[in-house]
Chain A
Amino acid sequence: MIPATFDYHRATSVDDAIRLLGEHGDDAKLLAGGHSLIPMMKLRLSTPSVLVDIGGIPQLDAIDASGGRISIGALAKHAALAASDALKKSAPVLWDAANDLGDPQVRNRGTIGGASAHGDPSADYPAVLQALDASFTLAGKDGTRELKASDFFQGMFETALGAHEVLTKIAFDAAPSSAYVKFHHPASHYAVVGVAAVLTMSGGTIESARIAVTGIGDSAFRASGVESALKGIKPGDVDALKAACAGVARSVTARSDTFASAAYRSAMADVFAARAVAKAATPRS
Chain B
Amino acid sequence: MQIDLTVNGKPATLDVEPRLLLAHALRDFLNLTGTHIGCDTSSCGACTVLLDGVSVKSCTVFAVQASGHEVTTIEGIGTAESLHPMQEAFWTAHGLQCGYCTTGMIVSAVDLLQRNANPSDDEIRAGLEGNLCRCTGYENIVKSVRAAGKAMRDHTERHSVNDLMPMHPPAEEPPPSGEGIIPPFLQEAHT
Contacts and interface: CB of A to CB of B under 8 A. Distances in A.
Nearest to B47: A105
Contacts of A31: 62, 65
Nearest to A187: B43
Given A35-B60, A79-B54, A105 B65 contact: no
A38 B61 CA distance: 8
Nearest to B18: A8
Count class of interface residues, chain B = 20 to 34
A5 B17 contact: yes
Contacts, number: 84
Interface of B: 1, 17-19, 21, 37, 40-43, 45, 48, 51, 54-57, 59-62, 64-65, 68, 108, 111-112, 127-131
B18 A51 contact: yes
Interface string A23-58: 000000001001100110111000000010101100
Contacts of B45: 103, 105
A31 B62 CA distance: 10
A108 interface: yes
Nearest to A77: B54
Determine the interface band of chain A, counting residues with CB < 8 A from chain B: 20 to 34
Interface of A: 1-8, 10, 31, 34-35, 38-39, 41-43, 51, 53, 55-56, 79, 102-106, 108-109, 187-189
A56 B42 CA distance: 22
A108 B55 contact: yes
B64 A109 contact: no
A35 B59 CA distance: 10
